[in-house]
Amino acid sequence: MMNKGLAQYQQVNVNAGVEGASPHRLIQMLMEGVLQRLAEAKGAMQRKALADKGVACGKAITILSGLRDSLNKDVEGEIATNLDDLYDYMQRRVLEANLSSSEVIIDEVMALMRTVKSGWDGIAEAAA
C-alpha cells in the first residue's frame, strides 16, 4: 500500500527527498504536498487563473487518494477507517472548492489537514 501512496506522490511532481525516506516521513510528505497544492489553488483563485486552480486542486485530490491508499484498515482499525472517511470528505470538498472557486472551502480543508498532520508529526516526536 505504501508503494501506491509513493507513486501518487511522485505522480504530482513532489518527489524531492522521497528516496530513502521512512514510511512515516513519506506520509508527512504527502500531507505537506496536499497543503502545498491547496495553497497553490487558493493563489490561483485569487489571480483568477482557472487552469492553474484546476491543476492544483486535481493534484491535491490525487495526493489525498494516495493517503487513503496508504491506510491499512486491517491493522489500524477504527483510526484508519476514520482517516479514510476524513480524506474522502477532503477530496469531495476540494472538488467542490474547484467548481465554485471557494477559498473558504480551501481554508477548511487546509485546517483539517494541518490538524491531521500535527497529530502525525507528534507521533514522530514521541518516538524520537
pLDDT for position 14: 47
pLDDT for position 124: 72
Per domain, the residue ranges of the chain are 2-121
Q: Does domain 2-121 sit in CATH 1.20.58.220?
A: no
Q: Which three cell numbers stand for residue 14?
A: 513532489
Average pLDDT (85-100) is: 98
CB atoms within 10 A of CB 8: 22
Asked if 70 and 30 touch (Cβ cutoff 8 Å), the reply is yes
Closest CA to 99 of 54, 67, 69, 68: 54
Q: Which one has a higher pLDDT value, 86 or 123?
A: 86
CB atoms within 10 A of CB 86: 17
DSSP element (H, E) containing 99 = helix 73-100
Please state, in angstroms and rounded to a whole number, the distance separating the CA atoms of residues 102 and 113.
Answer: 17
pLDDT band of residue 32 (cuts 50, 70, 90) is very high
pLDDT for position 4: 54
pLDDT for position 76: 77
pLDDT for position 20: 73
Please state, in angstroms and rounded to a whole number, the distance separating the CA atoms of residues 31 and 60.
Answer: 9
